[in-house]
A and B are shown apart, each in its own frame.
Chain A
Amino acid sequence: MAQVEVPPAVVEVELRPAPPVDMRRALRLGFSGGAAMVLVAATGIVATFQERMVIDPILPLGLMFLYIVALAFGWMAGQPPQTLEGFAPARVSGRNYGAGTLAGGLAGLCIGVLVILMSVFDLRGVFVELSPALQSILTFDLAVPVAVVVIAAISAVAGALGAGIHALPTRTKKTLLPALTWVVIFSLMTDLFGQLFTGLSLDWLTTRLYPRRGGPLTITGAVIVFVVFLALHWYLSGRDTSMRQQVSAMPRRRRLGVRTAATGALLIVLYFVPQVMGPFVSQILVTAGIFLLMALGLNIVVGYAGLLDLGYVAFFAVGAYTAAIFTSPQSPAFTPQLALIAALPFVVLAAAIAGIMVATPVIRMRGDYLAIVTLGFGEIARILLNSEWLSPYFGGAQGITNIPDLQLGPFHFNTPQDYFYPIFLFVIVAAYITLALQNSRWGRAWMAMREDESVAEAMGVNIVTAKLSAFVVGAILASFGGSLYGAQIGSVFPHSFDIVVSITILVIIIVGGMGSVPGVALGAVVLIVLPNLLREFSEYQFLFYGVLLIAMMLKRPEGFIPSKRRAQELHQEEVAQDAWLEIYGEKGATGEPIPEGKT
């Protein structure tokens, strides 16, 4: 922020040399990395993923996970300090590599200690995953003392490589890392790409990349993918302006034209997706679409209006149950047996009422208390739906079954491939509503409220209607998701509406970028499609979500595709200031910036 461009004539100020890489920090990071690696091994991640190969005979995913941790900590340890005003820019020297090697090697030694402990004691009484199978994976079937040395050496090399990333020129970094990522994506998403190539009748590509059907990428395949994407990213990084900038620089009419064409192309691609992808992938996409619909709704509540709703799943449940009651012949108390489309007005009505019921008591409540109250509402809803007391109306733990499929005139929606269309229609409508609301009167009121409720109120924003409308719009979008979910699955049970769903949706919008529609879409794809495609992953899905939530909040609270406004809000005082304090502030008693009590 404070990096003011100084005209060349004035740069007579002598620059101080950049502070060297902190070795004690590297030491600390080494132990933290070791702890992380031990946890990765002891939670069973290594053993579970070992079966899956990234590159067929040479690189299994389990060990890759383990040593990527070493690489990441080496990267952190070897990071040159931020360039500050008055300092020369830091250069990557042997010391950086040394720090990376130190951190990686130490982390590897921690795994070595684990291996020794495992060979001496049977730890499985407490830690269920520390099995002999894991032992043989970690030691590469070598004798323990040799294995410890080998593990430490591999980790040290990984750490040094991590530190070496800082030495790469920017363009190389921007080319190499995405290309490597694509190799991993291609090898993990075997089902997806195999299906895609078959659907596009590119069978020759499938046989080239994945010789064993549904099997992993071979060395040749990996090289092909790597080279293709290396070239692509080299080309992309070479251009001065990105596509987005080019488009926004166009005159208004052409810009509209390009945007319409792009949207049209996207719609055409979406139209062919289910046919090409087959039922398995379509089912995953349908699930992702339902989550995306809900995430768009929560995006309004949390992203726009800044009201952290942890009981959002309750609105999903309201939608699912209302639709089920109005359409299913098995509904216990009331069976109008409408078509889903005829039941939708009632779903909207029920969702709006639920939204108002939740919002009214919390009108005068802010921030964290609001989060807890909504969590309470969500749990109350689930327990009540599950209870015997209300089972004459909602079927208790047995839920409501036999929900008829969606029917629209002559179209009967039955398979996941069929459902893809209505769900994405809803998603597109929801995305349109969200975007339209962003710059509307309501949208501006929500954002003002998010930034400062008291100031917004003083400026004439009606907080009562703003909060009510945010909750109601969010609830309606979630209820659409719920009713489609019920129709697609064919039944609703209370245990589908766990708090975990609320948290998952929250993670989606936080990873993607609160307040940003493309961000939310990306979040849904990454967080729902990925775990479903990688079956072994489901066991660790929530651990991954938890870690991701922390990591995002620490490093990138605005998400991967941030909304501009939100990013500004979150980076009001630039990080560089903190860095100044860390160097010049007293390292003793109160070394770090003092917490601000009232923000």
Chain B
Amino acid sequence: MTHATTVTAGPAGGPTRRVSRITPVSVFLWGLRIAIVAVILYGSFLSISSGRLTASQWRDLLVFGISTGSVYSLIALGYTMVYGVLRFINFAHGEVFMVGAMVAFYVANGLATTSLWVGSPVVSLLIVLISAMVASTSVAVIVERVAYRPLRGAPRLIPLITSIGASFTLQYLVRGLVGPSTKAFPRMEPLRGTFDIFGLVILRSQVVVIVAALAMMGGLYLFVERTRTGKSMRAVSEDPETAALMGIDVNGTIVRVFAVGGAMAGVAGALWGLVFPSLNFFSGFLPGIKAFTSAVLGGIGNIVGAMLGGVSLGVFESVGPSLVLAGYEIPAFSQLKDVVAYAALVMVLIFRPTGILGERLAQERG
């Protein structure tokens, strides 16, 4: 799924035919682009030259960014794969992730009272991961069946609005079922403390998250590239009608895409609990938006792109506020962490909607 795009993006993000014309809009957008780059560079210069943070603090921020970013990548895979086959943003995917995290919380809470939790943490972590995967996969498949399947071939905005409805429904169903309170993920003793890897001191939980996410993504990549099912997924995302003519079960493939995306979101939900131990019914919204940003950043429809996009966004979001905002001496700049993420989202969509690696779908969007 990594073929380079055939359409070069013009300055305004549209197809090439616009490049030749200089419109007021493109002038404005270029001005905006230059201004943003200038603001970022000057801010970074100010904050680095002030020497507020030591090298090790920067490194901690970077590692933290990579670990949250790898969770974003896992969620982004669901967005990107669904976009690949159905060409629509599954807004409810953030909630699929949240359901996984919720189930992971309750399973972990249940296990924490048993001897298994302390005795064999690997086994209990696996149980937590698998139950989160099962829950998220089921939710993703049910949502597809109930809300999206009857809408094949409908105008584009309709499934999008439906997915917003699905997102709200899932959020408030979970709120109704388990209550609005914020839950605290139980601690896992063996995961506290740090690992020393080649002289780098890294929190253990972050290492686990990064390794698990990498393993899942590697597995998914092999699945999509090497197996028959993966091949049919690629075929459907290339051209569903032709794929159907070639004897591929399109609906079945779409269900499998939702299932795989859901499973990744479930893993992400369980891993999220290790990094950010607090959780409520609304916790899926923001990671969902950020994961979507990652998917676009990497080039939507592009699996490797989603992985890269997630990690870049994670790093950008964790380093960005201290690097750029602190440079301008903005008070309480950590409040603006999400603004950085949203700004990244907006800028990526405006200036490079085809993403880092380029999407194959550029021409068809619209």
Over the window 147-170 of chain B, the binary record of Cβ atoms lying under 8 Å from chain A Cβ atoms (1 yes, 0 no) is 101111111111111101111111
Give the residues in chain A near B23, CB-CB below 8 Å: 464
Over the window 2-21 of chain B, the binary record of Cβ atoms lying under 8 Å from chain A Cβ atoms (1 yes, 0 no) is 00000000001110001000
- With A591-B251, A596-B153 given, is the CB distance from A128 to B178 under 8 Å? yes
- Residues 226-260 (chain B) with a chain A CB within 8 angstroms: 239-241, 244, 247, 249-252, 254
Structural contact, A506 and B161, CB atoms closer than 8 A: yes
Shortest distance in angstroms between B361's beta carbon and chain A's nearest beta carbon? Answer: 10
A460 on interface, CB distance cutoff 8 Å: no
Contact for A129 among B177, B251, B330, CB less than 8 A: B177
Shortest distance in angstroms between A250's beta carbon and chain B's nearest beta carbon? Answer: 36
Structural contact, B346 and A376, CB atoms closer than 8 A: yes
Contact-residue size bin, chain B (C-beta under 8 Å from the other chain): 35 or more
A548 (CB) vs chain B CBs: closest residue = B165
Give the residues in chain A near B178, CB-CB below 8 Å: 126-128
Structural contact, A453 and B331, CB atoms closer than 8 A: no
- The stretch among B37-45, B58-66, B82-90, B203-211 that forms the contact with chain A is B82-90
A337 to B166, CA, bound (A): 45
Give the residues in chain B near A129, CB-CB below 8 Å: 176-177, 179
Give the residues in chain B near A542, CB-CB below 8 Å: 168, 171-172
Give the residues in chain A near B241, CB-CB below 8 Å: 594, 596-597
Contact for A371 among B160, B335, B343, CB less than 8 A: B160
- With A127-B178, A379-B338 given, is the CB distance from A590 to B244 under 8 Å? yes
- With A373-B345, A543-B169 given, is the CB distance from A308 to B289 under 8 Å? no
Over the window 320-354 of chain B, the binary record of Cβ atoms lying under 8 Å from chain A Cβ atoms (1 yes, 0 no) is 00000000001111011011001101100110010
Contact for A388 among B89, B155, B254, B331, CB less than 8 A: B331
A12 on interface, CB distance cutoff 8 Å: no
Structural contact, B168 and A543, CB atoms closer than 8 A: yes
Give the residues in chain A near B155, CB-CB below 8 Å: 569-570, 599
A389 to B147, CA, bound (A): 42
B106 on interface, CB distance cutoff 8 Å: yes
A493 to B224, CA, bound (A): 48
Structural contact, A387 and B335, CB atoms closer than 8 A: yes
B25 on interface, CB distance cutoff 8 Å: yes
Structural contact, A386 and B335, CB atoms closer than 8 A: yes
- Residues 278-297 (chain B) with a chain A CB within 8 angstroms: 289, 292, 296
Give the residues in chain B near A39, CB-CB below 8 Å: 173, 176-177
A413 to B330, CA, bound (A): 41
Shortest distance in angstroms between B245's beta carbon and chain A's nearest beta carbon? Answer: 9
A185 on interface, CB distance cutoff 8 Å: no
Give the residues in chain B near A437, CB-CB below 8 Å: none
Give the residues in chain B near A43, CB-CB below 8 Å: 173, 176-177
- With A506-B161, A550-B147 given, is the CB distance from A372 to B338 under 8 Å? no
B134 on interface, CB distance cutoff 8 Å: no
A369 (CB) vs chain B CBs: closest residue = B349
- The stretch among A14-22, A106-114, A212-220, A358-366 that forms the contact with chain B is A358-366
A547 to B146, CA, bound (A): 11
A554 (CB) vs chain B CBs: closest residue = B150
B212 on interface, CB distance cutoff 8 Å: no
A593 on interface, CB distance cutoff 8 Å: yes
A548 to B168, CA, bound (A): 10
Structural contact, A368 and B160, CB atoms closer than 8 A: yes
Contact for A377 among B14, B156, B166, B346, CB less than 8 A: B346
Most chain A CB neighbours (cut-off 10 Å) among B23, B161, B252, B365: B161
B89 (CB) vs chain A CBs: closest residue = A368
A9 to B165, CA, bound (A): 50
Structural contact, A384 and B168, CB atoms closer than 8 A: no
- With A380-B346, A503-B168 given, is the CB distance from A369 to B154 under 8 Å? no
A363 to B26, CA, bound (A): 10
A367 on interface, CB distance cutoff 8 Å: yes
B118 on interface, CB distance cutoff 8 Å: no
A360 to B350, CA, bound (A): 10
Structural contact, B332 and A375, CB atoms closer than 8 A: no
A44 on interface, CB distance cutoff 8 Å: yes
Structural contact, A373 and B366, CB atoms closer than 8 A: no
A596 (CB) vs chain B CBs: closest residue = B153
Structural contact, B168 and A549, CB atoms closer than 8 A: yes
- With A128-B178, A549-B164 given, is the CB distance from A365 to B338 under 8 Å? no
A452 (CB) vs chain B CBs: closest residue = B366
A597 to B366, CA, bound (A): 11
Contact for B338 among A364, A375, A383, A557, CB less than 8 A: A383
A45 on interface, CB distance cutoff 8 Å: yes
B32 on interface, CB distance cutoff 8 Å: yes
- With A376-B342, A569-B155, A599-B156 given, is the CB distance from A553 to B165 under 8 Å? yes
- With A365-B350, A388-B332 given, is the CB distance from A380 to B342 under 8 Å? yes
A364 to B9, CA, bound (A): 12
Structural contact, B366 and A367, CB atoms closer than 8 A: yes
B364 on interface, CB distance cutoff 8 Å: yes
B238 (CB) vs chain A CBs: closest residue = A597
Structural contact, B165 and A388, CB atoms closer than 8 A: no
Give the residues in chain A near B244, CB-CB below 8 Å: 590, 594
B112 on interface, CB distance cutoff 8 Å: no
B202 on interface, CB distance cutoff 8 Å: no
A589 on interface, CB distance cutoff 8 Å: yes
A63 on interface, CB distance cutoff 8 Å: no
B276 on interface, CB distance cutoff 8 Å: no
Structural contact, A373 and B176, CB atoms closer than 8 A: no
Structural contact, A389 and B330, CB atoms closer than 8 A: yes
Contact for B87 among A127, A380, A554, A597, CB less than 8 A: A597
Structural contact, A380 and B339, CB atoms closer than 8 A: yes
Shortest distance in angstroms between B59's beta carbon and chain A's nearest beta carbon? Answer: 27
Contact for A383 among B172, B179, B336, CB less than 8 A: B336
Give the residues in chain A near B14, CB-CB below 8 Å: 364
A448 to B309, CA, bound (A): 36
Over the window 537-567 of chain A, the binary record of Cβ atoms lying under 8 Å from chain B Cβ atoms (1 yes, 0 no) is 0001011011111100110010000000000
Give the residues in chain B near A454, CB-CB below 8 Å: 366
Structural contact, B250 and A590, CB atoms closer than 8 A: yes
Structural contact, A308 and B161, CB atoms closer than 8 A: yes
A383 to B289, CA, bound (A): 15
Structural contact, A362 and B350, CB atoms closer than 8 A: yes
Shortest distance in angstroms between B365's beta carbon and chain A's nearest beta carbon? Answer: 7
Structural contact, B349 and A372, CB atoms closer than 8 A: yes
A39 to B146, CA, bound (A): 15
Structural contact, A453 and B366, CB atoms closer than 8 A: yes
- Residues 562-599 (chain A) with a chain B CB within 8 angstroms: 569-570, 589-599
A597 to B244, CA, bound (A): 12
B28 on interface, CB distance cutoff 8 Å: yes
A510 on interface, CB distance cutoff 8 Å: yes
Contact for A366 among B106, B146, B330, B365, CB less than 8 A: B365
Contact for B176 among A44, A503, A569, A590, CB less than 8 A: A44
A32 (CB) vs chain B CBs: closest residue = B146
Structural contact, B333 and A389, CB atoms closer than 8 A: yes
Contact for A464 among B25, B166, B169, CB less than 8 A: B25
B29 on interface, CB distance cutoff 8 Å: yes
Structural contact, A593 and B13, CB atoms closer than 8 A: no
Structural contact, A388 and B169, CB atoms closer than 8 A: no
Give the residues in chain B near A443, CB-CB below 8 Å: none
Contact for B343 among A42, A380, A453, CB less than 8 A: A380
Structural contact, B251 and A361, CB atoms closer than 8 A: no
Structural contact, A546 and B167, CB atoms closer than 8 A: yes
Shortest distance in angstroms between B366's beta carbon and chain A's nearest beta carbon? Answer: 4
Q: 10 other contacts beyond A543-B168, A553-B147, A590-B250, with CB at 8 A cut-off?
A: A365-B349, A368-B88, A375-B289, A380-B343, A384-B336, A387-B332, A546-B167, A554-B150, A569-B155, A594-B244
List the 5 shortest-distance A-B pairs measured between CB atoms, nearest first: A549-B165, A43-B176, A546-B168, A546-B169, A543-B172
What are 24 A-B pairs with beta-carbon distances under 8 A?
Answer: A42-B176, A43-B173, A360-B25, A361-B346, A363-B12, A367-B157, A369-B353, A373-B350, A375-B289, A376-B345, A380-B346, A388-B331, A389-B335, A542-B171, A543-B168, A543-B172, A546-B169, A546-B170, A570-B155, A593-B152, A594-B240, A594-B250, A597-B364, A599-B155
